[in-house]
Amino acid sequence: MECRVLSVQSHVVRGYVGNKSATFPLQVLGFEVDSINSVQFSNHTGYAHWKGQVLTAEELNVLYEGIKLNKVNHYDYILTGYSRDTSFLGTVVDIIQELKKVNPNLVYVCDPVMGDHGAMYVPEKLLPVYKDKVVPLANLLTPNQFETLSILQVMDLLHKMGPETVVLTSTDLPSKLGDQFLVALGSQKIDGTKISQKICMDIPKVDAVFVGTGDLFAAMLLAWTHQHPKDLKTACEKTVSVMHHVIKRTMAYANEIAGPGKRPSPAQLELRMVQSKADIENPAVVVEAKVLKKFSN
């Protein structure tokens, strides 16, 4: 059966971020992807210069109305990423609510891109919108530790707010493998019960700043949880392994182009997505997830 995703994210002409980072990998894995570009920029904002346009809430609604009028608004998944406008985010919420009425089995995958490393990417007025409206609608949530504010019991608290699956993409927890690894955690409620399976992964750090990796992570988690709906361990292992292969290939290319002793530029660090097609389709598992324990929320 055809599986269709509506992805509402940013778009760049050059490089890989937002929809550019999510669409190709999902298509490679057999998903039909309908993209709404929340922004259209020349390149991501990590470059020295960037230009482009921002989609308004009204323009978003016009696009969705066209889809609805043609009666092609039946989706299996909706995927959302970065948003910095409350009215736009509110319209996204309205669309998700309507799509869930059209298909009660629709799965909403939310990557709440709000901040990292102690800094906010978005205005603080978006926080209550995420807390009160977005998170309760989500089925799968992929925040980092900054976006959840506290690691303690946070996954159980998020489960109680709505999402059945939560993956903390990075935390400040110390890794048993040393300071060259970061720790990611995942939790999945089992068959609608109060019991959850929790997993932990030690992920090798890379000494470079990549853009678009979070968008790729959310897309791959969507794909692999679709393939392994009751096996978060396997889904996370395949997701993180795709990330590992893409980043490793990107780093090797960037270092070669930059030359010995030189730090790669943002352009040289654009993800090597097309070149990683085989790894996206069939990732060799290089990071093992450990099941922590099963317990009641």
Alpha carbon separation from 131 to 100, 235, 297 (Å, rounded)? 19, 26, 19
Helices (DSSP H) in the chain: which residue ranges?
Answer: 19-28, 57-69, 86-102, 127-129, 135-137, 145-148, 154-161, 213-227, 232-258, 277-281
Is residue 215 part of the annotated active site? The answer reads yes
- Look up tokens 């992570």; give the residue: 217
Residue 163 identity (one-letter amino acid): P
Candidates 93, 117, 106, 91; CA nearest to 140 is 106
Assign 272 to helix, strand or coil. coil
What are the φ and ψ backbone dihedral angles of 158, each rounded to 5 degrees?
-70, -35
Query: Of 76, 111, 202, 215, which residue is the catalytic one?
Result: 215
Question: Which amino acids are annotated catalytic?
Answer: 215
